[in-house]
Amino acid sequence: MAFHEKTALAATGKWRGILLSFGVPERALSGKHGPCPICGGTDRFRYDDKDRRGTWICGQCGAGDGMKLAIEFTGKPFSEVAARIDEMLGNLKPDSTLPKVDLTDEQRIKALRAIWVETRPVTPGDLVHRYFDARGIEERVVYPRALRFGERLRDGDGGVRPALVAMVGLFGVPKFVSMHRTFLRPDGLAKAEMPSPRKLMPGSLPDGACVMLSDYTHGPLGIAEGIETALSASILYEMPVWAAINSALMAKWHPPPACDEVAIFGDNDPKYGGQYAAYSLAHRLAVKNIEVSVHIPPIVGQDWNDVLMASRGLSGGA
């Protein structure tokens, strides 16, 4: 059985939860006509989930199944999307289960508190610092409160690993709203060797949620997708840059009320997912009279950490 067929078969009846985990808006999966999560519009898209395969139809994009929607929405290659779905479904671990997509406020608060207690601030010499150093991000000595080091965290595959934990929040709101974990190798020099070493807490996030990697009072502010990308752009452009976690969340991000100048650092994705998110955000901010600049790496497949590493003669990080 082909890899796609195996993954699609295992995902039968579970596509709504899978697509929500990828960031597809809940309203797009209601079964009613509405905006397409891929191309926009107002009522050209409908999710019909025929044969429980996550099927959909769009007046502009055509039609497809859940796998196609996940690929087109994220702009990521099939292999990466399929591996993430495999990990969610447990194809690689027979005793794994699909993670819960919706958490109650009480469950979310409890989970965030538990992670906070299990982690500690990033300090020079620990595995998170070593991970950043291996990616050329060695200039940051004082790490933001939002970044934490977890020495032994459950990885969702039945194991325990060290992890970089990023707390996701909203500007002006004292409590965090979610968390993102990047599991690391025991030596900290790269991400853990597992199908999906990056995990965002299941559930929807409010628009504007991000990892605030610095304080903000006034002046220009940058936004990028990943944490490593944001820190790299901050070094390269000598300005504060926050991390939206992924392209879907970046497209919905909004700056603090006092900010009137935003630099958007998009990924150069082969299927234009990063570029689409960057320019969608740029358009939305520009019509609000916010000064916007968009920066995309020159080489297809690169993000800003790749650019930083290349500038320092380092090989690509895992």
Query: For residue 269, what is the domain's CATH number?
Result: 3.40.1360.10
Q: Is residue 94 part of a domain?
A: no
315: CB partners within 8 A, 6+ apart: 309
pLDDT band at 315 (very low <50, low <70, confident <90, very high): confident
Tell me the average pLDDT across 105-132: 89
More confidently predicted of 162 and 38? 162
Residue 20 predicted with pLDDT over 90: no
The answer, yes or no, to whether residue 100 has pLDDT greater than 60, is no
Domain ends where: 89, 120, 150?
89
Please state which of the ranges 53-62, 175-184, 197-206 shows the lowest mean pLDDT.
197-206
Question: How much is the average pLDDT of 204-231?
Answer: 94
Length of the chain: 318
φ/ψ bin of 32: left (φ > 0), alpha (ψ from -120 to 50), beta (otherwise): beta
Provide the CB-side half-sphere exposure for 156 (13 A, CA): 26
* 252: containing domain: 102-318
| Boundary of a domain, candidates 37, 59, 89 | 89
Count the domains in the chain.
2
Evaluate if residue 281 carries a pLDDT over 70.
yes
Q: State the Cα–Cα distance between residues 136 and 146, nearest whole angstrom.
A: 20
SS3 (DSSP) at 210: strand
pLDDT at position 258, please?
95
Look at residues 89, 119, 152 and tell me which one is the last residue of a structural domain: 89
Assign 173 a pLDDT band (cuts: 50, 70, 90): very high
Beta-bridged to residue 47, according to DSSP, are 56
Q: Of the candidates 125, 122, 138, 145, which has an alpha carbon nearest to the alpha carbon of residue 187?
A: 125
pLDDT tens profile 70-91: 888 888 888 888 888 876 765 4
Are 241 and 263 in contact, with CB atoms under 8 Å apart?
A: yes
CA–CA dist 125, 304 (Å, integer):
24
User: Do 37 and 172 share a structural domain?
Assistant: no
- Give the residue among 78, 104, 303 at the shortest CA–CA distance from 201: 104
Q: Does the pLDDT at position 154 exceed 90?
A: no
Q: Kindly state whether residue 95 falls inside one of the protein's structural domains.
A: no
- DSSP-assigned letter for residue 26: G
Domain shared by 293 and 162, yes or no:
yes
Q: Give φ, ψ of 56 to 5 degrees.
A: -155, 165
Same domain, 85 and 127: no
Rounded CA-CA distance 307/292 in Å is 21
Instruction: Please give the mean pLDDT across all residues of the chain.
Output: 87
The helix (run of H) or strand (run of E) holding residue 147 is strand 147-154
117's enclosing H/E stretch is helix 105-118
Same domain for 144 and 179: yes
Query: Under 8 Å CB-to-CB from 283, ≥6 apart: which residues?
Result: none
Question: Which residue carries 């409590």 as its tokens?
Answer: 175
pLDDT digits (tens, 9 = 90+) for 2-18: 545 667 777 888 898 88
Structural domain includes residue 96: no
pLDDT at 141: 61
pLDDT of 161: 93
> In degrees, to the nearest 5, what angle opens at C-alpha 114 toward C-alphas 186 and 164?
30
